Amino acid sequence: MTEMTDLMDLYADSVTLGYDERVISRDLSVQIPPGSLTVVIGPNACGKSTLLRALSRLLKPAEGAVVLDGESIASYRAKDVAKKLGLLPQTSIAPDGISVADLVARGRYPHQSLLRQWTEADEAAVVDAMRATNVVDLSGRQVDELSGGQRQRVWVSMVLAQQTPMLLLDEPTTFLDIAHQIELLELLRELNEDRGQTLVAVLHDLNHACRYATHLIVMKDGMIVAEGDPAGIVTAELVQEVFGMACVVIDDPITLTPMVVPMGRPRLNRSS
């Protein structure tokens, strides 16, 4: 894959986020470490996706500001933001009848203009993205004919085709079976380590987060309760506080990263 080493700052400064009159987060500040694979995790409805929407300019803060590459993200044109960061939202809808190749090619839209039409570099970026996500064999098929897992990989391919220094992904492992989840997370690690891309992903699986994140952000009730290296912050006490789940935390036997083992509910002795 093409090397990409441009690093940019992305942070939220005292933002208040919500929808209409419903406030999700208030006075929230967070910085994405440049060059990191940052994972945001927390219970349902804690504000993870809302934060990602704000960081990607899809949601305007009621107060405070999101800053991208030294400038308020609100000051950029949408096309200029799309040259700096790619976004995979939680739900995506493809136009009826569009082929996989045509959808992935739409990732090159930010690079097109009246003076710059489709080039060999655009074609190479599309092919590179489809190879990385193993969808080359699907290129001629219509997107609406695919399974949920196949569609998810095609959407990831489209975002990769943008070739931006930063990628934001909201629950990218949705609809994927366990093998494809690991395949995708390994790809994200490769993009981070080999291409130098900064990645921010919302995940639900705490053990996946611990294994792949270089920087972990843990949220609850619209607030950040812990952040840092997973090995330094993930404890049984934190999991109990955030998820209300009793557990033990041990070393993953493969990666030596924290692995959360739920204790489950006590079982009655029915032998008597």
**Mean pLDDT of the chain, nearest integer:** 91
With a CB cutoff of 8 Å and minimum separation 6, the contacts of 12 are 28, 29, 30, 31, 51, 54, 55, 61, 64, 65, 66, 67
Of the pLDDT bands very low, low, confident and very high (cuts 50, 70, 90), residue 3 is: low
Pull the structure tokens for residue 36.
């990191």
**Is-above-0.85 flag for pTM?**
yes
Of the pLDDT bands very low, low, confident and very high (cuts 50, 70, 90), residue 215 is: very high
- The region of weakest confidence among 108-112, 171-175, 229-233 is 108-112
CA trace torsion 45, 51, 56, 61 (10° rounding): 110
pLDDT of residue 267: 67
pLDDT (tens digit, 9 = 90+) per residue, 39-60?
999 999 999 999 999 999 999 9
pLDDT (tens digit, 9 = 90+) per residue, 102-119?
999 999 988 877 667 888
Of all residues in the chain, the percent with pLDDT exceeding 70 is 94
Angle in degrees, CA 64, 8, 187, rounded to 5: 115
pLDDT (tens digit, 9 = 90+) per residue, 65-83?
999 999 999 999 988 899 8
Please give the distance of CA 23 from its chain centroid, rounded to a whole number. Answer: 23
Q: Taking residues 205-234, what's their average pLDDT?
A: 97
Residue 92 above 90 pLDDT? no
Of the pLDDT bands very low, low, confident and very high (cuts 50, 70, 90), residue 195 is: confident
- CA distance linking residue 74 with residue 65, whole number of Å: 8
pLDDT of residue 126: 94
Residue 233 above 70 pLDDT? yes
Of the pLDDT bands very low, low, confident and very high (cuts 50, 70, 90), residue 123 is: very high
